[in-house]
Amino acid sequence: MPRLTSLSLFGNFELQEPLSIPTLERLDVQTDDPITCLNGGPLDVETVQNIFRSSFENLREFCADLEVYESDVEYMLPQEFLDGKNLPNLKGLEVVGNFRSGEQSRLQNSVLLRDGYVKANIRDMIERQ
């Protein structure tokens, strides 16, 4: 495995299982292509779950911009992510997209964010009723 320290994933892709990249320090996941501003639609729920379940021991910055306008998809955050055990060195988090009702509150009250070590921008988490 290469010694990746930064990884950016853009557009629509599939992830069939969680990743483990111990050297990764920055992860950026965006459904929109940064050059064309186009996307291939929302990521499937399993892919998003596997992203958030992935183990990144040295990850410090994590941005997940999953927003796709006029999409009916609703994501949930897995408990492993909320517990923070797979991201012990996380310092910055941004999460954007459509989530089930109550997910923003679950994240705000999670072990991951409870101690205040992680600076989180989650104001653009859209909760569906």
Tens of pLDDT, residue by residue over 35-62, are 676 677 899 999 999 999 999 999 999 9
- Rounded to whole angstroms, the Cα distance separating 72 from 99 reads 10
Q: Give me the number of domains the chain comprises.
A: 1
Kindly state whether residue 17 falls inside one of the protein's structural domains: yes
Kindly state whether residue 93 falls inside one of the protein's structural domains: yes
Kindly state whether residue 1 falls inside one of the protein's structural domains: no
- For the chain, the average pLDDT equals 92
pLDDT at 70: 79
Domain that holds residue 103: 6-128
80: exposed, middle or buried (Cβ count in 10 Å: 0-12, 13-18, 19+): middle
The model's confidence at residue 99, banded by pLDDT at 50, 70 and 90, is very high
Whether 32 has a pLDDT exceeding 90, the answer reads no
Q: Which residues of 44-55 are buried (b: 16+ CB within 10 A; e: fewer)?
A: eeebbbbbbbbb
Q: Compare 86 and 38 and report the one with higher pLDDT.
A: 86
Kindly state whether residue 25 falls inside one of the protein's structural domains: yes
SS3 104: helix
pLDDT at 72: 87
Answer for the pair 14, 47: CB distance below 8 angstroms, yes or no. Answer: yes
Kindly state whether residue 115 falls inside one of the protein's structural domains: yes
Kindly state whether residue 123 falls inside one of the protein's structural domains: yes
Kindly state whether residue 18 falls inside one of the protein's structural domains: yes
Whether 74 has a pLDDT exceeding 80, the answer reads yes
Cβ neighbours around 77 below 10 Å, total? 22
